[in-house]
Structure 1
Amino acid sequence: MSDKRPNAEARTSSGGRPRDPLVEEAIIESTRMLLATKGYSSMTIGDIVAEAGVTRPTLYRRWPNKYELVVEALQYGLRKQREAYPPLDLDGLTPREAMVEAVRRLDPRLHNPRAMTLHGNFMAEAEREPGLLAQMREHGNRPRCQELSDVLVELQRRGAVREDVDIDMIVSLSFGSYFADFNRYGREVPPDYAEQVVATLWPLVAGERGPAPA
């Protein structure tokens, strides 16, 4: 379900006074924290307003229900993550370095340490609230995976990646590796994890113009 409400700056109270975006941010941040610590089903509107230090009417003037608030909180966090990534400069990187950087950006925890918990909560709600997982796929997973796919397609065009490589499978293996590592070890991702992934995959994808692996 998409959020069709106008932007915070455009919304006004019944008296015509612009609403405070800091209040909305406090509500959204509280919602995101409670999603990670309590989960969607257990989290209540009462929990959110208590954590944010606002009243129920303040929240309900902005969002009609918990689901709409959670969707916006999810989109807010994913948008902040995307904004934190500088453009990936393929001309300033070697092909392997470009792949490493694109794989690094696949990690849901990049700029959001609670992201794996959020993924788990939304997967647990897939039967009751399938729209939440659909939002995560559309606004979080798809853009991350698309960036790596675009990088590999461009490297393929330049001859640095073999023409017969199944790019979609490489993307799935790279993205899935973060979830596998988290589920196996429950640890923070090692600083060189993306390099480790690419060190394994690069010999399988490198084309004639690709540098030899280090």
Structure 2
Amino acid sequence: MHRRRRTALLLSAAIAAAPLLTACGNDAHPGAAAVVGGQRITVAQLETRVDEVRAAQRAAVPNEAQYAQAIAKTGTLTRDTLHNMILDRVLQHAAKEAGVTVSRKEIQQMRSGLEQQTGGPEALEATWLQQYGIAPERLDENLRLQLEAQKLATRLGTDTGDRVFWSTLSEASKELNVDLNPRYGTWDVQKSSRVDAKTPWVREVTATGAQEPA
């Protein structure tokens, strides 16, 4: 009998639970949407990611009216996508510092479990696109992000909703000196929330048959 396992999805719900990113708000990096650890996330890279989502949304609906509705529901897609791109690097840094790694096999195990829950590969891709703004070609990358977070929390002896976990990510973002282009918003450390964004960051999904990473 399959055990039902809960997996924290670091996509969109409790970002307001703890400070993570800071924005310097300067023009020292022209053409950059953000700079993380001295490495640029260019505006072109960001636009490519957004275009991937829009193309997938357009392919998923039969007419322009429904496509317009999909766009209206994801009006903050550009900022949310940038947030996830920055978060990916911050989490990778924190995971590396903690000695956490994720294998391809673990990603496939997680994906298989979620496919069983949602009704197959296409249903899983549609769910991630509709609910989280993740293009199908980025699904495995996102699952790696989830597994890194889950394993990091385990290494810390906590979970992804705990203050210790968020403090670790906050420290990682400070070490990487995250510099966010002000056109995409800022991070209010005092209030522990991003200005201009109401997007949640952590959702709970129960994956039937998904395997816990070792």
Higher strand share: 2
Decide which structure has greater helix share.
1
Give your verdict on TM over 0.5: no
* Largest Rg, 1 or 2: 1
